[in-house]
Structure 1
Amino acid sequence: MGDLSQVPPEFLNALSGLRQARCRSELRLNEIPAPSRLAPYAVALGAEVLQETEPGKPPVHGPARAALTQEHPEELATGRFILLYDPEGSEVWDGTFRIVTYIRAQLEPDMGNDALLGSVAWTWLVEALQTHNATYRAAGGTATRILSESFGSLADRADTIDIELRASWTPDSHSVRQHLEAWADMVCTFAGLPPLPEGVAALPNRRRS
């Protein structure tokens, strides 16, 4: 962000809320370069799920199943979380803050071929926001299925189906911590990780000797 002395207090408070967010240990979250043309102030976070789940708790779907047998688990899901702020407000946003997100994950063929997959992906977003009491308005998004087929020298590679969800919404308050926590849980859902019981935190992975 550079010189924070010129940054509006509302945006600084929002940044503080993001730093206080508690996300599952399976999620790797890092700050990445933010877009400069979408709003006067912005911060962006990149996320990826690489870690294995705990023994006895198999993944729900996707390549997470195969990752359990690998010494170095592959990438299960990736995403971006961008918080935009315009002190002048925006009629399109219906507010001064706007959250823009992106998630991509590989699915098992039977789930990837489900005609209702887009609706399911959107439902994951809505339910995650509701679970974390992250109230919002003016939400919109698109869900896209991507089929990758290999040919020629790569013909031995299995076909894959990815799901991409791009969504944005306006938080009802300047408190955005819950929105990041909800989105982080959704990335884990896309990765095929089972939900955690209420009040239970995920334990960090232990290295195997």
Structure 2
Amino acid sequence: MGDLSQVPTDFLTALSALRKATCRPELRLEELPAPSRLAPFAVALGAEVTALDTPGHRNVHGPAVRDDGGGEGEELATGRFILLHDPDGSPVWDGTFRIVTYIRAELEADIGNDEMLGSVAWTWLVEALETHQAPHRNAGGTATRILSESYGSLAGRSDSIDIELRASWTPTGPQVQSHLEAWSEMVCTFAGLPPLPDGVTALGRRRRK
């Protein structure tokens, strides 16, 4: 980020808070190039949830299997977490910080076709923020279901349905550790990793044929 003396104290505090976040071991976080047009200061993280199958056994939780190799890692869900900061504030954000997120996972057709899936995904996000006591305001988002059909040489591949959740909200200050932890829990929930909160059903994994 260059000369740290030019970086606002609040943003440095926020970066320190992100580094303190505790996430499940199945979730791998890595820093990505941050968007430069959305705010004067920004940091971006990419997330990938993977799991290993026991040879000869398929875990019924989680979405798409990356391949059929025994013991190979499976990509269960992916996401992005972007923290934006404008010291002058933004009337659109209603604050000086804004968190922008994205989560995607592939589902079994019977679950992906559920008309309530979008509202359930949004409820998970709201509840994760509340559970982790991540104070925020001005939250908004969209949930999208994507049907993929294969033709030609790929005609034998089963149809797939993906769920995407794009959401953003304004944290009340630079202490954003709980926000990253809440979002990380959401990525793991999309991946269908147990244990899950009471009353929440795991998303079903698609099995490629």
Aligned twin of 2:170: 170
Aligned twin of 2:191: 191
Q: Which amino acid aligns with 1:176?
A: V
Give the distance between the partners of 1:95 and 1:6, measured in 2 at CA: 20
- Deviation by residue 1:68-108 (Cα, 9 ceiling, x = unmatched): 98311221100000000000000000000000000000011
Give the distance between the partners of 1:53 and 1:167, measured in 2 at CA: 31
Give the distance between the partners of 1:119 and 1:67, measured in 2 at CA: 30
Q: RMSD of the TM alignment (CA)?
A: 2.3
| Secondary structure at 1:74 match in 2 | strand
The yes-or-no answer on 1:4 pairing with 2:7 is: no
Give the distance between the partners of 1:67 and 1:186, measured in 2 at CA: 24
TM-fit CA distance, 1:60: 3.6
Q: Which amino acid aligns with 2:92?
A: V
Query: Measured at CA, do residues 196 and 61 of structure 1 come closer, stay the same or move farther in structure 2, by a change above 3 Å?
Result: closer
Q: Which amino acid aligns with 2:165?
A: L
Aligned twin of 1:102: 102
Aligned twin of 1:153: 153
Aligned twin of 1:121: 121
Give the distance between the partners of 1:2 and 1:11, measured in 2 at CA: 14
TM-fit CA distance, 1:5: 1.8
Aligned twin of 2:204: none
Are the counterparts in 1 of residues 52 and 74 from structure 2 also a CA contact under 8 Å?
A: no
Give the distance between the partners of 1:34 and 1:44, measured in 2 at CA: 5
Give the distance between the partners of 2:188 and 2:68, measured in 1 at CA: 15
Q: Which amino acid aligns with 1:159?
A: D
The yes-or-no answer on 1:14 pairing with 2:14 is: yes
Aligned twin of 1:63: 64
| Mapping for residues 34-53 of structure 1, pairs under 5 Å | 34-52=34-52
Give the distance between the partners of 2:91 and 2:123, measured in 1 at CA: 26
Name the count of aligned residue pairs: 196
The yes-or-no answer on 1:76 pairing with 2:76 is: yes
Give the distance between the partners of 1:24 and 1:110, measured in 2 at CA: 28
Aligned twin of 2:202: none
Aligned twin of 2:28: 28
| Mapping for residues 126-137 of structure 1, pairs under 5 Å | 126-137=126-137
Displacement over 3 Å in runs of 4+: 58-61, 66-70
| Secondary structure at 1:193 match in 2 | coil
**Structure 1 stretches of 5 or more lacking a match?**
198-209
Query: Measured at CA, do residues 74 and 175 of structure 1 come closer, stay the same or move farther in structure 2, by a change above 3 Å?
Result: same
| Secondary structure at 1:187 match in 2 | helix
Are the counterparts in 1 of residues 189 and 196 from structure 2 also a CA contact under 8 Å?
A: no
Q: Which amino acid aligns with 2:63?
A: G
Q: Which amino acid aligns with 1:16?
A: S
| Secondary structure at 1:75 match in 2 | strand
Are the counterparts in 2 of residues 189 and 195 from structure 1 also a CA contact under 8 Å?
A: no
Q: Provide TM-score, normalisation by structure 1.
A: 0.87
| Secondary structure at 2:12 match in 1 | helix
TM-fit CA distance, 1:135: 1.4
